[in-house]
Amino acid sequence: MRRRLIYCFVTLSVSSAVGVLVYDWLLENVFLPPYCRVLIQQGFDRPCNLVILDPLDGFRTRIKVTIYVGLVLAMPILLWNLWRFVTPALQRREKRLTLPFVISGLTLFSLGAYLAYNTFERALSFLISFGGSQVDPMFSPGSYLGLITYMMFAFGIGFQFPILLVFLQLVGILRPQQLRKARRFCIVGIVTAAAIITPSGDPISLATLAIPL
């Protein structure tokens, strides 16, 4: 146990160091392009720079991005060590079911995060235009990157819903007949939940999250 914890800590430290090295590249090539395109579409003739409103804002943002990158890069090794730790306590049937659930969960989470990033530009455009023509958008690194990561995380979690349904059916809590009877209520609840999670009212973001739910 102690050896695995040390191994995970070293892995996370190394991957976080990689996050420090690629921070500027991520900011320029991944995070800022949607903001730049929205400013051009909205007719703002100025650079798409983020504005620091707090002396510590830039430092906090770099630390957060570094941690996020470290977790993403280290996740396969962290999950592998967790799997090796819990395997002795699992029965044969549980071992057979766990791996497909983990792989499906990671795949769907990645898909949800990817779709969230691709719909972020439309959501940001809606939010800026909703403020009116007299409002000049200027974002701090913390608020802007926080919105992107929130959407990616929310979509990733939302895409886990099918796996949750399968799990509840396997353990006997839910049955297909129950889902069919409550279909209308489920649809209303799903659309409502998707509308709350997505920060914009555009139909693309709403449908992208509501469909997998």
Number of C-beta neighbours around residue 10 at 10 A: 12
Residue 142 Cα distances to 39, 87, 147, 150, 155, angstroms: 19, 40, 8, 12, 20
Q: Which pTM does this prediction carry?
A: 0.76
Chain segment 40-61, per-residue pLDDT in tens = 888 887 788 888 888 888 888 8
Q: Contact, 204 vs 188, CB < 8 A? A: no
**pLDDT(16) > 80:** yes
Q: Is pLDDT above 80 for 200?
A: no
Quote the DSSP letter at residue 213: -
